[in-house]
Every structure is written in structure tokens, then in C-alpha cells.
Amino acid sequence: MVDVYEELKATGNTPMITLEDFDKKARLYDPNKSLTRNFAVPYVDLYKMKKMNDSLWDIQEFVGSNGRFLSGDKVEPFSQVTINGMQFDTVHDPHFFLAEAYGPNYMTPKPRRSA
């Protein structure tokens, strides 16, 4: 994930992490431990963002109340999120972004459908 983040920055894009909080001590994978049935992992979406002007951002694959566009005051100034001890930029108002992108119940897991 760090490589993707750095590549986006290097190409002039503004990478954004849409994750409100993350335990700094979390380990996603330990090859020395056996697999378990009960586990949880963080889910991170990366979006390509382009600043259109001082008041509007175009966000790839974002579908909110204003289409792909998000108001500048919801994006800047960036807030920070820490993932595995590293800090990354994210939108100024993550709750607003997540509710716009995923709906008001974005914190409630959706049951998987049977195949």
C-alpha cells in the first residue's frame, strides 16, 4: 500500500486514505501463526483525486450527492490517519466522505450474499 501511495504522490496526484482510525500495533499477516476462523482486517480504498479549483475536487469512482465532485472544505486542509505506524493524508471530513460514498450506515457491515 505504501508503494501505491508513494507512486500516486510522485505522479502529482493526491492520494487519500479513507479510514478513520487504525490500531498502530495491528499486524495484517504473521507467517509464523496458523490461520484462524475468527479474524478481522482493515479495508482501505484509494481514490485518485484532482483539484478542479479552490472549491471543488473531482474524485475517481466517487458517487455522492454531487456526483464525482466534493466540496473543497470537505477535503482541505487534509487530516491525517496512521496505518501501521505511518501517517497518510486523508480528507478533512472523513465522516462526511464515508457517508456520501457508502451511505449513512457505512460502519455497519453488510451481510455477504450466497453464491
pLDDT 10s digits, 102-113: 888 888 877 777
Residue extents of the structural domains in the chain: 2-26+44-102
More confident residue, 75 or 83: 75
Full-model pTM: 0.56
- Interatomic CA distance for residues 3 and 11, integer angstroms: 12
Residue indicated by cell numbers 505522479: 11
- pLDDT average, residue stretch 13-28: 53
- The 10 Å CB-count burial string (b at 16+, else e) for 23-54 is eeeeeeeeeeeeeeeeeeeeeeebbebeeeee
Please determine, for residue 7, whether its predicted confidence score (pLDDT) is greater than 80: no
